[in-house]
Structure 1
Amino acid sequence: MKTTIEQLEDCTLVTLEGELNTAASAEVNTILAPLIENGSGRIVIECKDLTYIASSGLRILLSILKSTKSNGGTLKLRNVNDNVKKIFALTGFVKIFDFE
């Protein structure tokens, strides 16, 4: 699992590549902890190369979403493939997140 964070002019771009499974979740959570703590502004999570997400990964994204919304920011998931989007649909998270 590879996770990168870039601060762009108009947003914070998070790129997720690989499988966000239970084993990778602890490392990803550590990398994304500042977003969970601060959660402000506009956050875009690029999922083009995200091939799988486990429930632990969904919890991380939900934590970022809650923090961002409580601070008046926004979170968008970009380029989510059909297999990963099915997981969001099965869990009901497809209704909670904004996709672009």
Structure 2
Amino acid sequence: MSLSSEKIGEVLVVSASGQINSANAAEVESALLAYVNQGERLCVLDLSGLDYISSAGLRVVLMLAKGLKQKAGQLVLCALQPQVHEVFDISGFLAILTVVDTRPAAVSQLSA
């Protein structure tokens, strides 16, 4: 599992690759919440490189969304692989999170 980030204007884009599972969820969560604690409010989570997410990983995404919301921020997910998209769909997360197809679409949604 690896995370990388870049700023596009006011938007922080975090790219995740590999897997988010119970073995690394706590580490990923603390890394993502550190961005929020540093003052980031607009975040895109690019999951194009993520090939597996467990329920522990879903919780991490939910905690990030919640942390951003508490700071009057917003989270947009983009570029979900089909198998990851299915996990978000089955869990009902697609109804409560903003998910778009591409990174540019996600960035423009937050930049508007």
State TM-score, norm by structure 2.
0.80
- Where does residue 3 of structure 2 map in the other structure? 3
User: Following the alignment from structure 1 to structure 2, what is the Cα–Cα distance between the partners of residues 39 and 66?
Assistant: 14
After TM superposition, the structure 1 = structure 2 runs for residues 78-93 of structure 1, keeping only pairs within 5 Å, are: 78-93=78-93
Deviates more, 1:31-40 or 1:16-25: 31-40
Letter in 2 for 1:73: G
User: Aligned pair count?
Assistant: 100
Contact kept? 1:42, 1:75, Cα under 8 Å = yes
Deviations 1:17-70 (A, max 9, x none): 011111121221221131354675210000001001011111111011112122
Contact kept? 2:29, 2:63, Cα under 8 Å = no
- Where does residue 20 of structure 2 map in the other structure? 20
- Where does residue 107 of structure 2 map in the other structure? none
State TM-score, norm by structure 1.
0.88
Deviates more, 1:73-82 or 1:20-29: 20-29
User: Following the alignment from structure 2 to structure 1, what is the Cα–Cα distance between the partners of residues 23 and 51?
Assistant: 15
Contact kept? 1:40, 1:67, Cα under 8 Å = no
Three-state SS of the structure 1 residue aligned to 2:45 is strand
Deviations 1:71-92 (A, max 9, x none): 2211000101111011011111
Report the Cα offset of residue 94 of structure 1. 1.0
Which blocks of at least 5 consecutive residues in structure 2 are unaligned? 101-112
User: Following the alignment from structure 2 to structure 1, what is the Cα–Cα distance between the partners of residues 33 and 40?
Assistant: 13
Going from structure 1 to structure 2, the CA distance change for 1:21 and 1:87 (only over 3 Å counts) comes to same
- RMSD over aligned CA atoms reads 1.6
> Percent of aligned pairs with the same residue?
30
Deviates more, 1:90-99 or 1:20-29: 20-29
After TM superposition, the structure 1 = structure 2 runs for residues 52-67 of structure 1, keeping only pairs within 5 Å, are: 52-67=52-67
User: Following the alignment from structure 1 to structure 2, what is the Cα–Cα distance between the partners of residues 39 and 61?
Assistant: 18
Contact kept? 1:47, 1:81, Cα under 8 Å = yes
User: Following the alignment from structure 1 to structure 2, what is the Cα–Cα distance between the partners of residues 38 and 74?
Assistant: 15
